[in-house]
């Protein structure tokens, strides 16, 4: 492509280090689409003849059909997807192929192709997260009043409902989707026509190519257009945040599936056995979701470090933008699908959850709250009285509501028999009916709103 300037060809090492075709061939559809938009505009503007534009368009369709049928050939001498396509186009239609690159550079070409690819990845993440939300809401609806222990520090804290716990992840997924939506809106401008870095002297119509490619407008600064990759970083940041959420959900399933907890039976389809221990059923899919989160964060770090300190405009370092984005996108799609399947098909052992909620004095706060409300005791004092009651119950190995009234009254005379009604786990969750609280009626209200938001109603 630049033989005119050079006396010698590249060394084998130069060819190898320079070649991006092994990975950027993934951009072939976007490359063809953007080239077709470009050549249609060149024809409409009279920069190439209508006949040449038509020949090039037909040729591009033929190249696309070949890629579709046989894959993209990987020839390092052709460096990247842009040169590979142009070279094949020239073989098919002859020298007229050389007119396609008028008023364009690979710098704005790759920026355009990659934006189109990342935009689709954002849409795919959104669709995947929507499916995960549907699964969460469906299971939350089923379990709006199933009681389980709620934890802080992974120590039993207060009873909650399983539906409430699952809806927490629905909220995280909603914010993750909004991050992808924000990023998509921000990035949806076309860099095509920025050319190498300074724009072009040809009378191009950037608004036309922007519209043809589904962008809201052309970008406003040609240097920025070819040299920034913040749209890819926005994608990776949203992907990393999503992966962190998925990893936490995966961790819950891992803990819940362990024998001491026994809160869930994971679906066989998302578990593995052991080659030596016949009794084992391992939560490998969940563990890999937890593990992959680390890799996705690594992809974000990788591109951040690539971009750090690059002067304007394009530098070849930026060719390294693609592998981390491709890797993260593949992993993210898989992780979302795995967690969706797990939420859909896990058996929740609500009897075990309910029994665990009875342990660990989960309703101690309810006793303290009762002392405040019914006996007018300041909360700090009520906390102290309750602490003494827990200590006594613990020393006898019984639950709070198994303490005889006389013993409770010995700790504080203001206690009366009505307290027992407040100490059951059912009463505990029902009492937490503040907006966004764990009470079944609150969970059902949030589920109903979520079903509308998801388009299920």
Which residues are known to be catalytic? 153, 274
Which range of residues in 3-11, 163-171, 210-218, 313-321 is near ligand ARG by CB under 6 A? 313-321
The site that binds ligand ARG (CB under 6 A) totals a number of residues, namely: 10
Q: Residue 124, exposed/middle/buried by CB under 10 A (0-12, 13-18, 19+)?
A: middle
- For residue 272, what is the DSSP state? B
Angle between the N-to-C axes of helices 322-345 and 230-257, in degrees from 0 to 180, rounded to the nearest 10: 30
Q: How far is the CB of 80 from ligand ARG (least distance, A)?
A: 4
429-to-1, 138, 257, 306, 417 alpha-carbon distances in Å: 71, 20, 24, 50, 20
CA nearest neighbour of 25 among 83, 94, 90, 87: 83
For tokens 């945040």, name the residue: 241
Minimum distance from residue 313 beta carbon to ligand ARG (Å)? 9
**Whether 240 contacts 213, CB under 8 Å:** no
User: Measured from the CB of residue 83, what is the shortest distance to ligand ARG in angstroms?
Assistant: 8
**Is residue 318 within the footprint of ligand ARG (CB under 6 A)?**
yes
**3-state DSSP: the chain helix, strand, coil percent, rounded to 5?**
70, 5, 25
Interacting residues with ligand ARG between 247 and 306 (CB under 6 A): none
Residues 6+ apart with CB under 8 A from 417: 405
Q: Tell me the C-alpha to C-alpha distance, in Å, between residue 50 and each of 45, 203, 257, 337.
A: 9, 16, 66, 47
Nearest CA to 118 among 234, 224, 14? 234
User: Is residue 87 near ligand ARG by the rule CB under 6 A?
Assistant: no
Site for ligand ARG in 101-120 (CB under 6 A): 106-107, 110
Nearer to ligand ARG, 319 or 438 (CB): 319
CB of 82 to ligand ARG, least distance (A): 6
Between CA 367 and CA 379 the distance in angstroms is 11
**Least spacing, CB of residue 12 vs ligand ARG, in Å:** 19
20 binds ligand ARG (CB under 6 A): yes
- Based on CB atoms, which residue is closest to ligand ARG, 28 or 314? 314
Centroid of chain to Cα 451: 20
For residue 112, give both structure tokens.
Answer: 């355009």
- From 231, 256, 314, 370, residue interacting with ligand ARG (rule: CB under 6 A): 314
Whole-angstrom Cα Rg for the chain: 30
Reading the block at residue 417, the tokens are: 């028999």
CA distance 274 to 270: 14
Our CB check for ligand ARG shows the closer of 1 and 50 to be 1
CB of 321 to ligand ARG, least distance (A): 7
Closer residue to ligand ARG, CB minimum distance, 81 or 160:
81
What is the contact mask toward ligand ARG in residues 139 to 178, using x (rule: CB under 6 A)? ----------------------------------------
Of the candidate residues 28, 33, 52, 80, the single one contacting ligand ARG (CB under 6 A) = 80
- Cα distance between residue 250 and residue 255, in whole Å: 9
Q: Which residues ranging from 375 to 434 are in contact with ligand ARG (CB under 6 A)?
A: none
The span of 140-148, 158-166, 187-195, 314-322 binding ligand ARG (CB under 6 A) equals: 314-322
Q: Which residues pair with 348 in a beta bridge?
A: 264
Q: Which two tokens stand for residue 304?
A: 């951040």
Instruction: Determine how many CB atoms are found less than 10 A away from the CB of residue 323.
Output: 17
Minimum separation from the CB atom of position 284 to ligand ARG (A):
36
Task: Specify the stretch interacting with ligand ARG by CB under 6 A; choose among 7-15, 179-187, 240-248, 311-319.
Answer: 311-319
Least distance to ligand ARG, CB of residue 253, Å: 39
- Using the minimum distance from each CB to ligand ARG, give the nearer residue, 24 or 228: 24
Q: Which residues contact 39 (CB under 8 A, 6 or more apart)?
A: 48, 53, 56, 57, 60, 100
Out of 112, 319, 365, 386, the residue judged to bind ligand ARG by CB under 6 A: 319
Q: Which is nearer to ligand ARG, 31 or 401 (CB)?
A: 31
Stretch that binds ligand ARG, among 94-102, 216-224, 294-302, 315-323 (CB under 6 A): 315-323
Which residue, 2 or 435, has its beta carbon nearer to ligand ARG? 2
| Residues pairing with 347 in the sheet | 265
Nearer Cβ to ligand ARG (219/319): 319
> For binding to ligand ARG (CB under 6 A), which residues are involved?
20, 24, 80, 106-107, 110, 314, 316, 318-319
């Amino acid at each position: 492509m630049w033989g005119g300037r050079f006396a010698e060809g590249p060394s084998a090492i130069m060819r190898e280090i320079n070649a991006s075709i092994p990975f950027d061939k993934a951009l072939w559809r976007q490359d063809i689409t953007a080239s077709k938009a470009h050549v249609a505009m060149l024809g409409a503007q009279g920069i190439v003849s209508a006949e040449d534009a038509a020949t090039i368009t037909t040729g591009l369709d033929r190249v696309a059909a070949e890629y579709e049928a046989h894959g993209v050939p990987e020839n390092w001498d052709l460096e990247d997807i842009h040169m590979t396509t142009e070279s094949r186009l020239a073989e098919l239609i002859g020298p007229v192929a050389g007119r396609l690159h008028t008023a364009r550079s690979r710098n704005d070409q790759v920026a355009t192709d990659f934006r189109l690819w990342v935009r689709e990845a954002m849409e795919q993440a959104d669709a995947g997260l929507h499916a995960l939300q549907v699964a969460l809401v469906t299971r939350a609806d089923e379990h709006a009043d199933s009681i389980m222990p709620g934890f802080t520090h992974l120590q039993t804290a207060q009873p909650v409902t399983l539906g409430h716990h699952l809806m927490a992840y629905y909220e995280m997924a909603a914010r993750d989707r909004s991050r992808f939506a924000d990023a998509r809106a921000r990035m949806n401008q076309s860099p095509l026509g920025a050319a190498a870095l300074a724009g072009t002297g040809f009378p191009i119509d950037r608004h036309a190519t922007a519209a043809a490619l589904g962008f809201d407008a052309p970008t406003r600064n040609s240097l920025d257009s070819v040299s920034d990759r913040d749209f890819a970083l926005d994608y990776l940041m949203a992907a990393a945040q999503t992966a962190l959420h998925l990893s936490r959900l995966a961790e819950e399933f891992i803990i819940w599936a362990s024998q001491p907890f026994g809160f869930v039976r994971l679906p066989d389809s998302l578990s593995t056995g052991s080659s030596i221990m016949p009794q084992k059923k391992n939560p490998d899919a969940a563990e890999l979701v937890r593990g992959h989160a680390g890799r996705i964060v690594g992809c974000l770090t990788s591109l951040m470090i690539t971009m750090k300190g690059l002067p304007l405009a394009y530098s070849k370092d930026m060719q390294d933008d693609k592998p981390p984005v491709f890797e993260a996108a593949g992993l993210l799609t898989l992780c979302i699908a795995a967690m969706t399947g797990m939420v859909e098909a896990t058996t929740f052992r609500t009897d075990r959850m309910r029994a665990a909620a009875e342990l660990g004095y989960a309703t101690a706060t309810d006793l303290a709250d009762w002392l405040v409300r019914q006996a007018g005791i300041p909360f700090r004092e009520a906390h102290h009285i309750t602490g003494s009651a827990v200590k006594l119950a613990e020393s006898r190995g019984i639950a709070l509501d198994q303490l005889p009234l006389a013993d409770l009254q010995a700790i504080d005379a203001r206690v009366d028999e009505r307290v027992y009604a407040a100490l059951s786990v059912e009463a505990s969750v029902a009492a937490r009916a503040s907006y966004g609280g764990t009470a079944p009626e609150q969970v059902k209200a949030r589920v109903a709103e979520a079903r509308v938001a998801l388009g299920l109603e």
